[in-house]
A and B are shown apart, each in its own frame.
Chain A
Amino acid sequence: MSDLINLNFTVNGEKKHIKLDPSMTLLEILRNILKLTGTKEGCGKGECGSCTVLLNGKAVNACLVIASQLEEAEIITIEGLGKGEEIHPIQKAFIEEGAVQCGFCIPGMIMSAKALLDENPHPSEEEIKWGISGNLCRCTGYSKIVSAIEKAAKER
């Protein structure tokens, strides 16, 4: 296999310098090396969106990015959204709207919502649905998730 590579990247504002196998996925790096287990593994093939994180400001599936692609990358995970003890307004809106049931999809769902609202602060209902179309939820039926994102957009 390949020699390890020296990788410099930023996770939730913290600079990291790690020696890694270049074929390791971002998801494996986050969960197994950095112990940031808020990012979930669902399908592992880019279908479910459970592992959604922001890579240079854009929503991506962490299961479909490998270490060799991460030089100088800036990554934000669900752990990086709040400020200290204070949770992010999108997280607050999800709680208030009862948008969380089993919770497994929620970190990815919230990261997709964050990417959407960063780009389009006042999305229509259709735009919200399209924005989370890469995230599967098997509990809620989505309507409370959409309401939560609408609420977060209003309160920004």
Chain B
Amino acid sequence: MRRFSVIRIRSLEHLFDLAEKGMTNPYFLAGGTDLLIKIKDDLLIPPFTVLDISGLQELRSIHFEQDYVRIGSLVTHGEIEKHPELRLLFPSLTDACHGVGSPQIRNRATIGGNIGNASPAADSIPPLYVYGAELHLVNSKGERWVKIEDFFTGPGKTIRNPVEIIKEIRIPAEKRDYGTYLRLGQRKALAISKISLALAGKKKNGSMEDVKIALGAVGPTVIMAVETSLYLRGKELSSEVIKEAGNIIEKEAEPITDLRSSKEYRKKMCSTLLVKALTNWKQVA
């Protein structure tokens, strides 16, 4: 592989000092499973500087607090998928992380990297939408909290400044009755999602009370299926309701045709995945 300039970041203070001095085209290296491939494919135009943040231990932990679960941005997909408490609270997220890449990729790829990379097909992002996650962004000037749905502006594009770091992801520690993540890809492993659906919902007296649905790979960013959620509110999980919800989401989604799938296929599959998710919920309820 070509040689490139790498700085091993020792602490956030070290990063902020460097940022103050100014750098040409800085890129963060966390797990490296996307960035190193981009470098190999000559997709980053030199000169650029790779800031290796993978040694920052403070970004590697998961904390359970009264109101929030806080996940450090360097926590890997493998750590999330295998975490028993996360599985109980956020099954859509642990399911999504379970299907990313391969065991080798999941052992390196970080959740912060998946978010920062901002692919509309990123698997960890739709679950973070349905669970109402917020991102803690930090740079030498200060810090800010951003709702996940306000972070992305397009494929590969976010509101993050070049040397602003995603420090952690916090998710309201709220137990739902059901959560799932369904994806379609060319094959089970090492395939980018053609379409994905995250769903998390609560029930009250037998009716759906609060159902959140997010769709991946059907637009420039992940989107929430707001109309479909509204339709489901207060309804029982009957076969008729499930079918109608499938029709609504098909109208609501506005995917594009690209090299992985056609627009028509994606629309149909939004419906298929939702029907499958709701049917599974009905069966476990």
Residue pair B37, A46 in contact (C-beta under 8 Å): yes
Find B78's partner among A28, A55, A58, A65 (CB 8 Å cutoff). Answer: A58
Task: Tell me whether A71 and B108 are in contact in the complex, defined as CB-CB below 8 angstroms, given that A1-B4, A24-B3, A66-B32 are known contacts.
Answer: no
Please report which residues of chain A, range 20-78, place their CB below 8 angstroms from some CB of chain B when the two chains form the complex. Answer: 21-25, 28, 44-47, 49, 52, 55, 58-61, 63-66, 68-69, 71
Residue pair A59, B1 in contact (C-beta under 8 Å): no
Residue of A nearest to B6 (CB): A22
A47: chain B residues at CB < 8 Å are 190
Distance in Å from the Cβ of B115 to the closest Cβ of chain A? 19
Residue pair B104, A61 in contact (C-beta under 8 Å): yes
Residue pair A112, B104 in contact (C-beta under 8 Å): yes
Task: Tell me whether A59 and B104 are in contact in the complex, defined as CB-CB below 8 angstroms, given that A23-B50, A28-B1, A44-B40 are known contacts.
Answer: yes
Residue pair B108, A133 in contact (C-beta under 8 Å): no
Task: Tell me whether A69 and B190 are in contact in the complex, defined as CB-CB below 8 angstroms, given that A5-B8, A24-B3, A46-B105 are known contacts.
Answer: no
How many A-B pairs fall under 8 Å by CB? 100
- Decide if B155 is an interface residue (CB 8 Å cutoff): no
- Decide if B283 is an interface residue (CB 8 Å cutoff): no
Residue of A nearest to B30 (CB): A69
- Decide if B55 is an interface residue (CB 8 Å cutoff): yes
B55: chain A residues at CB < 8 Å are 69, 71
Distance in Å from the Cβ of A101 to the closest Cβ of chain B? 21
- Decide if B36 is an interface residue (CB 8 Å cutoff): yes
A99: chain B residues at CB < 8 Å are none
- Decide if B230 is an interface residue (CB 8 Å cutoff): no
- Decide if B52 is an interface residue (CB 8 Å cutoff): yes
Interface range on chain A: under 10, 10 to 19, 20 to 34, or 35 or more?
A: 35 or more
CA distance A100 to B188 in the complex (A): 24
- Decide if B189 is an interface residue (CB 8 Å cutoff): yes
- Decide if A131 is an interface residue (CB 8 Å cutoff): yes
Residue pair B103, A68 in contact (C-beta under 8 Å): no
Over the window 1-12 of chain A, the binary record of Cβ atoms lying under 8 Å from chain B Cβ atoms (1 yes, 0 no) is 110010000000
Task: Tell me whether A64 and B33 are in contact in the complex, defined as CB-CB below 8 angstroms, given that A5-B8, A22-B8, A47-B190 are known contacts.
Answer: yes
A58: chain B residues at CB < 8 Å are 78, 107
CA distance A49 to B104 in the complex (A): 8
CA distance A2 to B48 in the complex (A): 11
Task: Tell me whether A22 and B52 are in contact in the complex, defined as CB-CB below 8 angstroms, given that A2-B7, A46-B37, A46-B105 are known contacts.
Answer: yes
Find A69's partner among B7, B32, B78 (CB 8 Å cutoff). Answer: B32
Residue pair B105, A134 in contact (C-beta under 8 Å): yes
CA distance A5 to B10 in the complex (A): 14
- Decide if A115 is an interface residue (CB 8 Å cutoff): yes
Task: Tell me whether A46 and B104 are in contact in the complex, defined as CB-CB below 8 angstroms, given that A1-B4, A69-B32 are known contacts.
Answer: yes
CA distance A135 to B32 in the complex (A): 19
A residues whose Cβ falls under 8 Å from a Cβ of B = 1-2, 5, 21-25, 28, 44-47, 49, 52, 55, 58-61, 63-66, 68-69, 71, 112, 115-116, 130-131, 133-135
B residues whose Cβ falls under 8 Å from a Cβ of A = 1-8, 29, 32-33, 36-37, 40-41, 50, 52, 54-55, 78, 101-105, 107-108, 188-190
* 19 other A-B residue contacts (CB within 8 Å) besides A21-B3, A24-B3, A134-B104: A1-B3, A2-B5, A22-B52, A25-B36, A45-B37, A46-B102, A47-B190, A60-B107, A64-B36, A64-B104, A65-B108, A68-B29, A68-B54, A69-B55, A112-B103, A112-B104, A130-B189, A133-B103, A134-B101
25 contacts across the A-B interface (CB closer than 8 A): A5-B8, A21-B3, A23-B6, A24-B1, A25-B1, A25-B36, A45-B37, A45-B41, A46-B33, A46-B102, A55-B107, A58-B107, A59-B104, A60-B107, A61-B105, A64-B37, A68-B6, A68-B52, A69-B29, A69-B55, A116-B103, A130-B189, A133-B103, A133-B188, A134-B102
